[in-house]
Structure 1
Amino acid sequence: MDFSGFEFSQNALNTFKTCPKKFGYKYEQGINWKKEDEEEYYKSLKYGVEFHLMCERYFSNIPVGNFSGDKKYEKFSKWLERVKNVVPIYKDREYLTEYGLSIKIDEESRLNVKYDLAIIYRESGVLCIDIWDWKTENRKINYNDLEKRMQTIVYMSVAYEIIPKIYGKNNEKVRVRMYYYQPEYYLEPIEIKYNEEKFKNDKNKINNLIKEIKKSDFKDKNLNSCKFCEFNMLCNQKNINDIAYEEY
């Protein structure tokens, strides 16, 4: 695969970790389609995108509109009020919505991130960076899963490395924290703290994974993920249900 100009993301890295062959289908061959039997999943995804847009408008000081009386979005007003309570707006802080960053990996590729919300401010002379991510899925998330997620590893690593170069001073102390907030289930966000040791470990994980991807022929596949994969019929020449999967 030619990686000239390739832009890695947490989704791309996570896809390879899930299954190298799936990465090959999506990013080498450019194959991508929806699973016919997961209509509700895509409806939920669209629902989440619309709520993210609502939050973006609020933190950008743009009117969010009135959703009262609309059953499809009846939760939005309640969710937004919860977001307002956990993320108050202060005049001395900068609120960056849908904030994108890109870091150079090597001469041919980059690593990109986009934060739902990044808040930059100083507290007792320390540069503080709060990364917020809104979660609207129906399954309740928990701290242990989130701390190990590729999203957490990539988002916090890039924030720790790049944002101080934009908003800080040379070699100054920086505090980075990431908050996952799921308004359907929580009144308080799940907070993940960060430090220099975590950054070094995460940086090595990311670099090693990218090196592994660039050396791969994308032929290996993870059988544990087949029955949940949109490529299972293309990859295995049949649809793998629970019984057939166990036999396979």
Structure 2
Amino acid sequence: MSMLRLMGLNHWNGMRCVMKKIIEAIAKNKLSRYSYSKISTYDDCHYKFKLKYIDRLKVEKLPIRALEKGKYIHKLIESYFTLRLLGDTINMKTVEEMSIEDYPHNFPEEVSRCISIFHSLINSDRFQKLFPVDVCVYPEVEMEIPDIAVAYIDAYVEVSSDNSVILYDWKTGKTTKYNGRQLAFYFLLLNHLRPEIKTVTIRYYLIEHDEILEHTIDENSDIVLETKGWIIKTLEEIDKDTLYTKNMNNCRFCEYKDYCQKETSEILREYHNKINKEKR
């Protein structure tokens, strides 16, 4: 297994179009990189995309128990792998100290459960089979085109001798579904930067179920072709967008919910004041 820091200029025509659109969008919106989550955010709500990535508006996020618990478990595991990579002695105190930035401050009662889950996880036969002790894994992977960090993969990566790629990740929620579009996004970027990469496999360890879920795609997979079209279409919309409309259906768990409601109230108040003045 090796650190995946890929550079490359050779690419097939379809991928050239996708990457050209991504680079143009980065230049237009002054974004340092495009990730799957940024494109998905625009797809979910144009206005949230503007607030988060263009205006860079900082707001206090709504505390969500499952999200904070999941982040803390992820950080515990990442700290564990970092120690393993460095060849350091692994003890729980060090792992906890390295994970303090994602401590679930809003739900401190979850800490003991998270640590218990972490212990069960690293001692699970299935988890050890997925991440053998004698294998080095790396917690961060960046893929670059010269001078532009285009996107990143938040997963552990193995590049095999036959140029196939395996991504390793884990899920802290109860769902057993996988995000095919996200996997296709990763495949498109990997294939662009290393055209010899023809297949990408993702292996999820489902923590709540103690199971491994595996999916493999290649350049002819329907989801790859669909995702390529989705990326191009979405970036073209971002390029033309000047209104950044709100999608009110996705407000419930949005961190900008209070800001948007306050802003809408002020706009309505100004509108009614204007109407009342005109009636006088």
Fold agreement, TM-score > 0.5? yes
Distance 1:25 1:209 in 2: 17
C-alpha distance 173-237 of structure 1, shift in aligned 2 (>3 A): closer
Report if aligned partners of 2:166, 2:203 keep a CA contact under 8 Å in 1. Answer: yes
Output the amino acid matched with 1:213: I
SS in structure 1 at match of 2:202: strand
Amino acid at match of 1:132: Y
Residue type at the aligned position of 2:123: E
Pick the aligned partner of 2:230 from 180, 187, 205.
205
CA distance in structure 2 between the aligned counterparts of 1:77 and 1:132, rounded to whole angstroms: 19
CA contact (8 A) 1:5 1:109 kept: no
Q: Which residue of 1 aligns with 2:71?
A: 45
- Determine if the alignment matches structure 1 residue 142 to structure 2 residue 142: no
* 2:247 corresponds to which of 210, 222, 235: 222
Q: Is 1:57 aligned to residue 86 of structure 2?
A: no
Alignment partners' CA distance in 1, 2:204 and 2:176: 9
The one of 76, 93, 99 aligned to 2:118: 76
Q: Which residue in the other structure is 2:203 paired with?
A: 179
Task: Please identify the structure whose Cα radius of gyration is greater.
Answer: 2
Distance 1:115 1:37 in 2: 22
Offset from partner CA, 1:112-143 (integer Å, 9 cap, x none)? 11342101122xxx32210112222xx31223
Question: Sequence identity, in percent?
Answer: 18
**Equivalent residue for 1:154?**
185
Q: CA 1:220–1:120 in structure 2 vs 1: closer, same or farther (change >3 Å)?
A: same
Partner deviation per Cα, 1:35-65 (whole Å, 9 max, x = no partner): 3453663354234223222234335544332
Partners of 1:119 and 1:31 in 2: CA distance:
36
Alpha-carbon contact 2:142-2:149 (below 8 Å) kept = no
Q: Is the contact between residue 60 and residue 97 of structure 1 (CA under 8 Å) also seen in structure 2?
A: no
Aligned: 1:192 with 2:215: yes
CA distance in 2, matches of 1:109, 1:211: 19
User: Structure 2 length normalisation: TM-score?
Assistant: 0.65
Aligned-pair CA distance for 1:212: 1.7
Q: In the alignment, which residue of structure 2 is the partner of 1:243?
A: none
- Partners of 1:197 and 1:12 lie apart in 2 by 25
SS at match of 2:139: strand
Q: Which whole-Å CA distance do the structure 2 matches of 1:182 and 1:22 have between them?
A: 30
SS in 2 for 1:58: helix
Query: Where in structure 1 are there 5+ consecutive unaligned residues?
Result: 166-171, 240-248
Larger mean CA deviation between 95-104 and 227-236 belongs to 95-104
Q: Work out whether residues 191 and 197 of structure 2, in 8 Å CA contact, stay in contact via their aligned partners in 1.
A: no
Normalising by structure 1, report the TM-score. Answer: 0.72
> What residue ranges of structure 2 are gaps of 5+ in the alignment?
1-26, 96-110, 265-280
Given that residues 15 and 23 in structure 1 are in contact (C-alpha distance below 8 angstroms), is that contact kept between their aligned partners in structure 2?
yes
Whole-angstrom CA distance in 2 between matches of 1:60 and 1:179: 24
Q: Which has a greater percent of strand?
A: 1
Larger helix proportion, structure 1 or 2?
2
- Root-mean-square deviation (CA, aligned residues, Å) is 3.2
